[in-house]
Amino acid sequence: MSELDPVVLHHVVNSLGWPGLRPAQRAAVEPVLAGRDVLVLAPTAGGKTESAVFPLLTAMARDGWTGLSVLYVCPLRALLNGLGPRLETYTGWLGRRAAVWHGDVSGARRRALRADPPDVLLTTPESIEGMLIGTATEHTHLLAGVRAVVVDEVHAFADDDRGWHLLAVLERLERVAGRRIQRVGLSATVGNPSALLTWLQGARARDGLVVAPSSSSSSPVEITLDHVGSLANAAKVVAALHRGSKRLVFCDSRRQVEELGAELRARGVTVFLSHASLAADERARSERAFAEARDCVIVATSTLELGIDVGDLDRVIQIDAPSTVAAFLQRLGRTGRRAGTVRNCLFLATTPAALVQAAGLLSLWADGWVEPVVPPPEPRHLVAQQLLALALQNGTVGDRVWASEWNGLAPFDTSAEPIVRHLIDQGYLDVDGGLLFIGPEAERRFGRRHFMELTASFTASPQFTVLFGRQEIGRTDTTVLTERREGPRRVLLAGRSWQVRHIDWKRRRAFVEPVAAGGVARWNQGRHAPRSFTLVRSMRSVLLGTDPPVTLTRRARDTLAEERARVLVDATAAPDATTIVRASGDIRWWTWAGHRANATLTATLSSVADPAQQPNDLWIRLRQDLTPALWHTARATNEPLTLPDVDPRAVHGLKFAAVLPPRLATATLAARLADFPAATRVLAERTILTDLA
């Protein structure tokens, strides 16, 4: 702690009133001050922000950094908004400044920041990309002095295409700055911290350090698992339990958030909502009101999972189950912050399947297992995006030296030559005199609003903005306004029903007024995240008799007993083996391997698998005429594993896939649908054949 700047130390003790630094903060000081790349792991509210910011402010003062020298990158605008005042306070201790820059920041505010840059800028990867390619920003003037980048919630970036986009942008930023930029990642607990740090370091990994002080295993935790059977019953339980306390309820879909919010409001509960399709002002009002209230409930998706401050919580309630142990740890960490309180979570399962998933997830949590963070493979579509963005940034790029702009980072290296040739052939890039530059097809497809579509690696589903007078409530799926329905058209948004009075189809706006009930909530979110092999196998263990070491209500025990009896009768699960069972007119191979492994196995064993099926997490449908001989022949064939088949329509879900050669777009998606390690494990297991002729 003594290595920190004396002014910082003074304010830590006297302004913040801290007796000292927390373990993760103490452990991060020396390596961050030494300029090393660091990954700090700590639970929610574990002081990760200060572990990066305090030593970087010390380095700023010690080494005389001037101008914009630190970027603080977050995945959510709301998280940036919440952190802004805190970093403004910290930088102010040393006479420095911090500011926020993202898509909701006004043009006037951005012009002021360009003219007089702060020392620390809180921003998103998309905004950095906008600074690099936008004509309004002289990016060399603004960004050339950057010395360090802090990536908050780095795990949320790494397992998504936004992570690849972030890495590519950071490599280009280093070219602008003319120096290696220090990288400090902040993360919740992950299963592979060393690999995550290496990933964050990008093209030029060097001696980095994972800071992960061990947490006390003796801290009390209260976990209860209940089966309530429906969302309406969940609302009854939430309304009745813990009155007078602040309760944060997590759902894993926006539709669930809306429907549960409406059910609670009908029961007289003071309720607030938060999800990505609510207007930013509406979401902020909810979060602010919840932080200041006492006897209330806020219902949210994962928007409140990533450390956004909503004040002291009494209880966390989970509807059904999150898809990962890591998400559960984030949500559990929202409680137990006040003296005399404990971490707690109540699971309310609305279906038997959700109960089994929750029990399987809690068993893994109790064993100390957390998912490894694995970046999505083969991001060729983002290679195409980056090539176009680079051409915009520099005006022209040498047709032999473009790969050096990413410092050799794969796959943004010379392996991308086929993509470059395709972009030239299709008119997205032009070439003249050995120089590449933006072509007419790129102008046509992406040129609107100064190529702003190129700044984001993800595609937002088309939605209609819902307005009550001039007040924006949020956005709803197009189908809510277009599907055939009897009676007046009503939408459910912000936990309230609204009757549609007018639709501006051209501007995609729906004007509404409040009504008592009858609203419909729907968003095109696609299928739920595939469950991992490890989670699905843990679910199988639950059905074979394993109970998680948490409190199970009588309803949960009774429902688990019924599910276990059904599995025993149907012979769909066995320890250390897969089973093939004829039931309901199908022959099903119960692999318990997860969606990706089952998609891989379906393609690999195409001689016996039904090619028309949609893979699921639990089983694979086999040919109706399957015999033991056919099965053993298929298994004995020593063919390599095969990538899953891809519906050509699914390729459109990859942003920028349209600018790739079709075969590369299809190969990218197929690689992301596959799980070769899990499929290999399944093929090595014994299979029990039941009722086959």
> What span, in angstroms and rounded, lies between the C-alpha atoms of 682 and 673?
17
Amino acid at 451: F
Threshold 0.85, pTM exceeds: yes
Sign of CA pseudo-dihedral 26, 27, 32, 35: positive
| 308 confidence band (pLDDT: 50, 70, 90) | low
147-151, 459-463, 477-481: least confidently modelled range: 459-463
Amino acid at 39: L
What DSSP assignment string belongs to 528-578?
A: PPPPPHHHHHHHHHHHTTPPPSSEE-HHHHHHHHHHHHHHHHHT--BTTEE
SS (H, E, C) 118-173: CCEEEECHHHHHHHHHCCCCCHHHHHCCCCEEEECCHHHHHCCHHHHHHHHHHHHH
Q: Which residue has the tokens 């992406």?
A: 446
> What span, in angstroms and rounded, lies between the C-alpha atoms of 267 and 235?
8
Amino acid at 146: V
- pLDDT tens digits for range 501-515: 999 998 899 999 999
Q: Which residue has the tokens 């056919």?
A: 630
If phi > 0 it is left, if psi is from -120 to 50 it is alpha, else beta; for residue 376 that is beta
388, 446 contact by CB (below 8 A) = yes
Structure tokens at 612: 């028309």
- pLDDT tens digits for range 472-529: 999 998 888 888 778 889 999 999 999 999 999 988 999 999 999 999 998 875 556 7
User: What's the rounded mean pLDDT across residues 306-318?
Assistant: 78
As a whole-number percent, the residues of the chain with pLDDT over 90 amount to 74
> What span, in angstroms and rounded, lies between the C-alpha atoms of 473 and 498?
10
Q: What is the pLDDT of residue 29?
A: 96
Burial degree of 217 (CB within 10 A; 0-12, 13-18, 19+): exposed
Peptide bond before 411: cis, by omega within 30 degrees of 0? yes
Q: Which domains does the chain have, with CATH numbers?
A: 6-211 (3.40.50.300), 221-366 (3.40.50.300), 380-451 (1.10.10), 463-515 (no CATH), 571-689 (no CATH)
Burial degree of 561 (CB within 10 A; 0-12, 13-18, 19+): exposed
